[in-house]
């Protein structure tokens, strides 16, 4: 949004007043974004205000002060972290928002260089800038950018990120820089978990990554599955490197995770094509991007051009415009999760956003609903948080109907009518009635889900019928169902009945970690359940374990330990375990209790793609994990094998480009069968 009037129309007194207001707003938004990792406005709103401030300061240079946001970098060092003084400042980048501004940057570079300009063009990763220092090839320090001169020592947390080498193949002294980011899958899972637990959700993957990297508990950071892309070698010419493109190649050879999507370009037409390609494909990437970065490719020219007080003169970021859609909010629905958290969802007129039709968008919690002042009948802007989750970003107040009334938040549970509570340490409303029908149904659905007991055919609609007809009240009742009872359900004939009974019977043989996860104990996810059962061997042994031994397991911690203690101390839970035992449900861990024997896949990074015949995706993932493999979602230069089923798409193409070995499903099965 431009300034309300032309720059030339401002007097010095007017400009002084507006600059003061803009600085106050920009500082407030910058502190929320960089320091608290909880942005108050969309990136585009911040960018508009920042540009207005830059324009006024450029027109009235006497107003520029050293404490202006335009003269400063990033955030501040948080309490709880040691300070790290950067040997070379970690600067920000200048931004442009149109091809016209990009052409102006290119003109400046051409004039300054007086020769054909060559750029290395890279994706702008939506993450947190980091620095890594190595001595004799070993990682000794990892830090955030901080204010550009001084950052935070987050070495312990960075050591939990698998893509960061702890030791290089060469015993060299080295400093590299790049971006720590949260993959979209991790972002979606983290926000879903925080929503269920009544915690504030992260606005986007960048803030989620920053909040995760700034944890004082390294176990929390490890759990959040962060990743990195490294793109800068400090003093690269010392290693015989003369271009940014060569620097990226060398980083790969040293073992760093480097984004493969980069080109060397001399023509703006090439750069425009690259921008348009990734602006249209950004939703398909497994990580978030918010633009494209141009860097002068020749490192000697970078040094010659130098820096301003805040940004390098030799690089620029082209920022993608925010993708938003406008629609009318018709209703707000409240749903109850299995932990009792009651969540508002906006129901809107359908609208196309990022290639999909959207008619519902999250409002997250009561605090956000009140903060945005959303009302029935409002025209709202929606976007996809992290390019994933449809979310209401703001109300278009100029289009608010005169009849729109402030929305009244419910005080009773929409399922059971119990009084809702708002705990002091949570942002969510919560129903604390353990017999709330919605919570019980959600819990039963979770128990039958693929990652839990994997009871095929037992979805939410079937669960609802069974519960509403008083055929089940808890998970133990599932194992007492008869064909006669199932015949009462809508559209359940002999084949459906036999299939469901067979699936329930099969689930009795699952490894006990599936059962533990399926019980829905607060804070105990699938990975924690596997770690616990791999250690104790059975659910009865876990129930009798010393709490100190539980907490001592790596990555478990006190929060999970307290949840388990409270859960298994409940008399109803103990009775439930007895009923499951009587029904013949396996309570023993069937996975590997010790380190996997040597095999073809041990310690290998594997990606799956295409349609599988012999296994479901989750079955093959589990088999590979049991053999010590790391199954990841995207192909990179560090991928050891791609297992490709039928109709494999972009992952196969990328594997072929990076010369990653590709196995058919049959070939992978042969290697699996070799393991005794």
List, by residue number, the catalytic residues: 124
* Strand, coil or helix: 672: helix
| Cβ-based burial of 201 (10 A; exposed 0-12, middle 13-18, buried ≥19) | buried
Q: Across the strands, what pairs with 606?
A: 631, 641
The region that residue 240 occupies, defined by phi over 0 for left and psi between -120 and 50 for alpha, beta otherwise, is left
DSSP 32: I
H or E element, residue 278: helix 268-281
Are 80 and 216 in contact by the 8 Å Cβ rule? The answer is yes
Q: Which is nearest to 215 in space by CA: 205, 224, 203?
A: 224
| Cβ-based burial of 195 (10 A; exposed 0-12, middle 13-18, buried ≥19) | buried
Q: Please tell me the distance from the alpha carbon of residue 526 to that of residue 528, in angstroms, as a whole number.
A: 6
Q: Which is nearest to 224 in space by CA: 502, 66, 37, 380?
A: 37
Strands 356-362 and 94-96: unpaired
Task: Give the Å distances, CA to CA, from 56 to 11, 30, 31, 49, 310.
Answer: 11, 19, 22, 11, 17
* Strand, coil or helix: 386: coil
Q: Please tell me the distance from the alpha carbon of residue 334 to that of residue 596, in angstroms, as a whole number.
A: 46
Nearest 5°: CA angle at 77, between 132 and 29? 115
Q: Which is nearest to 270 in space by CA: 94, 96, 93, 102?
A: 102
Are 414 and 440 in contact by the 8 Å Cβ rule? The answer is no
Q: Please tell me the distance from the alpha carbon of residue 35 to that of residue 316, in angstroms, as a whole number.
A: 24
Q: Which is nearest to 342 in space by CA: 264, 430, 409?
A: 430
Are 523 and 559 in contact by the 8 Å Cβ rule? The answer is yes
Q: Please tell me the distance from the alpha carbon of residue 177 to that of residue 356, in angstroms, as a whole number.
A: 36
| Cβ-based burial of 224 (10 A; exposed 0-12, middle 13-18, buried ≥19) | buried
Task: Give the Å distances, CA to CA, from 79 to 83, 151, 152, 207, 543.
Answer: 10, 12, 9, 18, 39
Q: Please tell me the distance from the alpha carbon of residue 62 to that of residue 641, in angstroms, as a whole number.
A: 60
Strands 138-144 and 128-135: antiparallel
């Amino acid at each position: 949004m431009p300034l309300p009037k032309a720059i030339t129309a401002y007097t010095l007194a007017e400009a002084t007043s507006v600059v003061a207001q803009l600085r106050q707003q920009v500082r407030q938004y910058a502190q929320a974004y960089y320091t608290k990792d909880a942005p108050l406005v969309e990136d585009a709103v911040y960018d508009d205000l920042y540009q207005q401030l830059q324009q006024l300061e450029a027109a009235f240079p006497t107003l520029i002060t050293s404490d202006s946001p335009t003269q400063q970098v990033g955030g501040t060092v948080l309490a709880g972290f040691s300070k790290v003084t950067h040997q070379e400042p970690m600067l920000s980048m200048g931004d442009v928002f149109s091809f016209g501004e990009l052409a102006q940057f290119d003109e400046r570079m051409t004039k300054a260089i007086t020769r054909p300009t060559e750029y290395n063009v890279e994706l702008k990763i939506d993450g947190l800038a980091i620095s890594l220092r190595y001595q004799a090839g070993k990682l000794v320090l990892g830090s955030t950018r901080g204010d550009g001169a001084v950052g935070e020592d987050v070495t312990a947390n960075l050591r939990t990120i698998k893509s960061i080498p702890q030791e290089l193949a060469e015993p060299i002294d080295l400093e590299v820089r790049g971006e720590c980011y949260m993959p979209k899958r991790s972002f979606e899972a983290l926000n879903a978990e925080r929503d269920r637990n009544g915690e504030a959700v992260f606005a986007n993957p960048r803030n989620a990554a920053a909040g995760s990297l700034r944890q004082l508990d390294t176990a929390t950071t490890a759990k959040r599955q962060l990743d990195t892309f490294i793109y800068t070698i400090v003093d690269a010419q010392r290693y015989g490197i003369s271009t940014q493109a060569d620097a990226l190649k060398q980083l790969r050879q040293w073992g760093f995770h480097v984004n493969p999507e980069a080109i060397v370009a001399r023509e703006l037409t090439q750069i425009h094509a690259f921008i348009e390609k990734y602006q249209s494909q950004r939703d398909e990437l497994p990580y978030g991007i918010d633009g494209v970065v141009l860097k002068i490719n020749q490192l000697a020219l970078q040094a010659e051009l130098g820096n301003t007080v805040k940004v390098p003169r030799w690089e620029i970021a082209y920022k993608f415009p925010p993708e938003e859609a406008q629609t009318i909010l018709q209703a707000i629905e409240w749903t109850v999760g299995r932990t009792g958290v009651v969540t508002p969802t906006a129901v809107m007129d359908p609208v196309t956003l990022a290639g999909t039709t959207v008619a519902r968008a999250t409002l997250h919690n009561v605090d956000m609903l009140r903060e945005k002042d959303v009302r029935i009948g409002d025209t709202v802007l929606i976007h996809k948080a992290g390019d994933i989750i449809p979310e209401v970003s703001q109300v278009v107040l100029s289009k608010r109907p005169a009849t729109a009334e402030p929305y009244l938040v419910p005080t009773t549970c929409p399922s059971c009518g119990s009084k809702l509570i708002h705990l002091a340490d949570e942002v969510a409303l919560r129903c604390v009635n353990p017999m709330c029908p919605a919570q019980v149904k959600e819990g039963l659905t979770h128990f039958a889900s693929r990652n839990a007991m994997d009871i095929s055919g037992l979805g939410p609609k079937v669960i609802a019928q069974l519960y509403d007809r008083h055929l089940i009240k808890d998970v133990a009742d599932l194992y007492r169902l008869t064909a006669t009872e199932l015949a009462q359900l809508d559209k359940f004939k002999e084949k459906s009945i036999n299939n469901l009974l067979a699936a329930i019977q099969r689930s009795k043989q699952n490894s006990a970690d599936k059962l533990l996860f399926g019980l829905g104990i607060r804070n105990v996810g699938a990975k924690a359940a596997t770690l616990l059962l791999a250690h104790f061997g059975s659910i009865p042994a876990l129930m009798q374990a010393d709490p100190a031994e539980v907490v001592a397991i790596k990555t478990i911690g006190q929060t999970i330990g307290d949840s388990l203690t409270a859960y298994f101390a409940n008399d109803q839970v103990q009775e439930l375990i007895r009923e499951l035992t009587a029904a013949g449900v396996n309570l023993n861990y069937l996975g590997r209790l010790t380190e996997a024997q040597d095999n073809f896949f041990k310690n290998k990074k594997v990606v799956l793609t295409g349609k599988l015949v012999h296994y479901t995706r989750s079955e093959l993932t589990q088999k590979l994990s049991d053999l010590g493999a790391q199954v990841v979602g995207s192909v990179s230069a560090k991928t050891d094998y791609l297992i490709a089923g039928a109709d494999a798409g972009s992952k196969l193409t990328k594997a072929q480009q990076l010369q990653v070995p590709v196995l058919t499903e049959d070939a992978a099965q042969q290697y699996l069968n070799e393991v005794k």
